[in-house]
Structure 1
Amino acid sequence: MEPVQTGNYEEAITHFRQALESDPDNPLLYTNMGSLLAQTGEYEQALACYRRAIHLDDKQAGAYYGAGNISYNVENYQEALQFYKQAEAVGMNDQSLHMMIGMCEYQLGNLPFALARLQRAVELDPNDEDARFYFGLTLAKSELITEAIEAFQAVIGKNEGHADAHYNLGIAYFSKEEKEKALDYFNKTLALQPDHYLAAHGKKQVEKAMEK
Structure 2
Amino acid sequence: MDNNERAIELMKEEKYEEAAGLFNDFIEENPKDPVGYINFGNLLLHINDKDRALRFFERAIELDEDAATAYYGLGSLYYEESDFAKAQQNLLKAIEIGLEEADAYYPLGMTFFHQEQYKLALPYLMRAAELSPEDTEYLFQYGLSLAQSEHIDEAKPVFQKVLKLDDTHSDARYNLGVIALYEENLSHALDQFNQALAIQPEHILAANAKKQIMEVWNNTEM
Q: 2:194 aligns with which of 153, 170, 187?
A: 187
Q: Give the aligned partner of residue 57 of structure 1.
A: 64
Structure 1 unaligned spans of 5+: none
Residue type of the alignment partner of 2:23? F
Asked if structure 2 preserves the Cα contact closer than 8 Å seen for 1:179 and 1:210, the reply is no
* Matches of 1:142 and 1:210, distance apart in 2: 30
Within a 5 Å distance, the mapping from 1:97-136 to structure 2 comes to 97-136=104-143
* Matches of 1:63 and 1:171, distance apart in 2: 41
Residue type of the alignment partner of 1:100? P
Return the TM-score normalized by structure 1: 0.93
Q: Aligned with 1:195: secondary structure?
A: coil
Within a 5 Å distance, the mapping from 1:10-25 to structure 2 comes to 10-25=17-32
* Matches of 2:210 and 2:95, distance apart in 1: 43
Asked if structure 2 preserves the Cα contact closer than 8 Å seen for 1:78 and 1:108, the reply is no
Q: 1:206 aligns with which of 195, 203, 213?
A: 213
Q: Give the aligned partner of residue 87 of structure 1.
A: 94
1:131-157, Cα deviation, whole Å (9 max, x unpaired): 110111011101111221111111011
Asked if structure 2 preserves the Cα contact closer than 8 Å seen for 1:54 and 1:60, the reply is yes
Residue type of the alignment partner of 2:12? Q
Report which of the two structures shows the higher radius of gyration computed on alpha carbons.
2
Structure 2 unaligned spans of 5+: 1-5
Q: Give the aligned partner of residue 73 of structure 2.
A: 66
Q: 1:143 aligns with which of 143, 146, 150?
A: 150
Residue type of the alignment partner of 1:185? Q
Q: 2:13 aligns with which of 6, 9, 15?
A: 6
Q: 1:30 aligns with which of 37, 43, 50?
A: 37
Q: Aligned with 1:18: secondary structure?
A: helix
Return the TM-score normalized by structure 2: 0.89
* Matches of 2:159 and 2:11, distance apart in 1: 36
* Matches of 1:43 and 1:173, distance apart in 2: 44
Aligned residues: 212
* Matches of 2:186 and 2:51, distance apart in 1: 49
Task: Please provide the CA RMSD for this pair.
Answer: 1.6
Percent identity of equivalent pairs? 38
Structure 1 stretch displaced more, 165-174 or 118-127: 118-127
* Matches of 1:30 and 1:20, distance apart in 2: 7
Shift of 1:171: 1.8
